[in-house]
Amino acid sequence: MAFTKLTTNQKTFLETYLRGTGKTLTAKDAKARFGIQQLPARMSEMKSAGLNVKTDVATTGATRYSITARDVNGSRAKMFIG
């Protein structure tokens, strides 16, 4: 039996998952749920690209990441298309 595996790059996935949704993600959650090994690196790349990446500290001491709906220029347009 053949299975179809749909893939998208991590930055496109993270933008869709986090941007403007109010969801947060820690590195541990990203690894366990989505197989993303280097969440801080991906979030740094997204911040460099112009997204408003917000950080917060969870009660466990881990860093939680979220992304606001608008980028640094006020646009809601997608930055990463995959």
Is the residue at 28 inside a domain? yes
Rounded to an integer, the average pLDDT of 50-54 is 96
pLDDT > 70 in the chain, percent:
90
Q: Which of 50, 56, 10 is closest to 33 using CA atoms?
A: 10
CA 10 – CA 45 distance, rounded (Å):
11
Residue 80 CA to chain centroid, in angstroms?
11
Beta strands in 18-62 (DSSP E): 25-26, 53-57
Total-model pTM: 0.85
Is the residue at 56 inside a domain? yes
Is the residue at 82 inside a domain? no
Question: For 16-33, how does the pLDDT look when each residue is reduced to its tens digit (9 = 90+)?
Answer: 999 999 999 999 999 999
Is the residue at 78 inside a domain? no
Question: For 1-21, how does the pLDDT look when each residue is reduced to its tens digit (9 = 90+)?
Answer: 455 555 678 999 999 999 999
Is the residue at 48 inside a domain? yes
CATH number of 41's domain: 1.10.10
Is the residue at 81 inside a domain? no
What is the Rg, in whole angstroms, of the alpha carbon atoms belonging to the chain?
A: 13
Is the residue at 49 inside a domain? yes
Give me the domain span that covers residue 18. 10-67
Count of the separate structural domains present in the chain: 1
Look up tokens 């969440």; give the residue: 39
